[in-house]
Amino acid sequence: MAQQNQASSGVPLLDVNRDNAPHREEFIEALTEVLDSGRFLFGPDVTELEAELAGYCQVPNVVGCASGSDALLLSLLALNIGPGDEVIVPSFTFFASVSCVTRLGATPVFADICPDTFNVDPASVESLITSKTKAIIPVHLFGQCAQIDRICQIASGHDIPVVEDAAQAIGAAYHSRPAGSWGTVGCFSFYPTKNLGGMGDGGMMTSNDAAFADRLRLFAGHGMRPRYYHKVVGINSRLDTFQAAVLRVKLRHLGEAIEGRSTVAARYDRLLTENGMVDNGQITLPVRDPNAFHVWNQYAIRVADGRRDDLRSYLAERKIGSEIYYPIPMHQQECFEGMEFRHNGLAETERASQEVLNLPVFPSLTEAEQLRVIDAIASFYSASAKVAA
């Protein structure tokens, strides 16, 4: 009986409502203020949020925009990237890290990843640099910084700008220095599943360079300055006041949210190890780079022996949420069919896309729920062991 109850209750991959519930009154108050002000764009919350995030990310300049995807596109626009230019980027990432390059007619060049952290391999980046390289986009995947110190060092040796894709990594740090404060520009997303998630779309760019940040703002506002005088061909990309109001509330609780995620991650590490699934090589735990402060936007395990998809189906049958970030590397996407991409081997990228499995992780996930996830994984392996015997 007990087992049946457990099986039927399931575990969600993410529960945004449960995470938001304790802050409901704060949200309503903040949103009502915006409603009553009538300033749905360019309201005071936008400026306040930018200032608060500048403090949080330890960068002097923050520019809000409509999404993380726009943050990346705006960064490349402001760097004058276009046809004939090459941009080095990992293939094991979300589409937006790459579509910003192809949309501007530039050419993505794909670096492989480190097998332990899933993050871009600095040695691979370095070996791909040519005179055509106009930017490097390291992605801080799953909430852990890439080796951004080495990447920035390599880039500055060649005078190449670094565009940090920090969409999954707000609050993360490398050598205690925050994500988004290392490169020429940092790009963040407020998509609802990100660690600082809005109630809709939103994004921001960070920069230590005031003149470059000003250029980002120019491109985000139709390249218009003053009104109806267009200096460059920009786009329309704004963070609206409702999102800014929501994000200000959530920013106040971001520290606790990250602590909650870290607790969840540490419990998974312990429970998966105690179950013997790590020692016998069936599952590999996510690896923490000792120089990184990980904020656990995702908890990504590797599943050995080609069993990832079977395990995922088994969990789905038991209503245990999981996801594959990402099943198809960018160089193999249908939209790029027929395109020849330069790279120097993407074996680790392709292996990761076959083996990675992302387990439920959010601040309010309970230990009881995590035990259900672990029990389901353990029973998958014991069931298959019986079949084999």
| Nearest distance in Å: CB 90, ligand PLP | 9
Of the residues 20, 69, 133, 237, which one makes contact with ligand PLP according to CB under 6 A: 69
Catalytic residue among 132, 134, 194, 386: 194
Q: Residues 236, 51, 176, 144: is their CA dihedral positive or negative?
A: negative
Please work out the total of residues on this chain that contact ligand PLP, with binding judged by CB under 6 A.
Answer: 15
Range list of β-strands (E), the chain? 61-65, 86-90, 107-111, 133-136, 163-165, 173-174, 177-178, 185-189, 203-207, 283-284, 292-293, 299-303, 356-359
Give residue number: closest CB to ligand PLP. Answer: 68
Under rule CB under 6 A, which residues in 154-193 are in contact with ligand PLP?
A: 165, 167-168, 189, 191
- Distance between CA atoms of residues 321 and 194, nearest Å: 17
- Is residue 68 at the binding interface for ligand PLP, with CB under 6 A as the rule? yes
| Nearest distance in Å: CB 375, ligand PLP | 30
- Distance between CA atoms of residues 183 and 155, nearest Å: 9
Q: In this structure, what token pair is assigned to residue 92?
A: 């094991």
3-state DSSP percent of the chain in helix, strand and coil, to 5: 45, 15, 40
- Distance between CA atoms of residues 299 and 285, nearest Å: 9
Task: Say if residues 301 and 359 touch (Cβ distance below 8 Å).
Answer: yes
| Nearest distance in Å: CB 318, ligand PLP | 27
Is 134 labeled as catalytic in the residue annotation? no
10 φ/ψ sector (left φ>0, alpha ψ -120 to 50, else beta) = left
Per-residue binding letters, 188-207, with ligand PLP (x by CB under 6 A): -x-x---------x-x----
Listed ranges 5-13, 48-56, 61-69, 361-369: which one lies at the site for ligand PLP (CB under 6 A): 61-69
Q: Which is nearer to ligand PLP, 141 or 359 (CB)?
A: 141
| Nearest distance in Å: CB 73, ligand PLP | 9
Per-residue binding letters, 81-110, with ligand PLP (x by CB under 6 A): ------------xx-xx-------------
**Environment class of 198 (CB within 10 Å of its CB; exposed 0-12, middle 13-18, buried 19+):** buried
DSSP one-letter code for 167 = T
Of the residues 11, 73, 139, 373, which one makes contact with ligand PLP according to CB under 6 A: 139
| Nearest distance in Å: CB 40, ligand PLP | 20
Q: Catalytic residues, which ones? A: 194
Binding site residues, ligand PLP, CB under 6 A: 67-69, 93-94, 96-97, 139, 165, 167-168, 189, 191, 201, 203
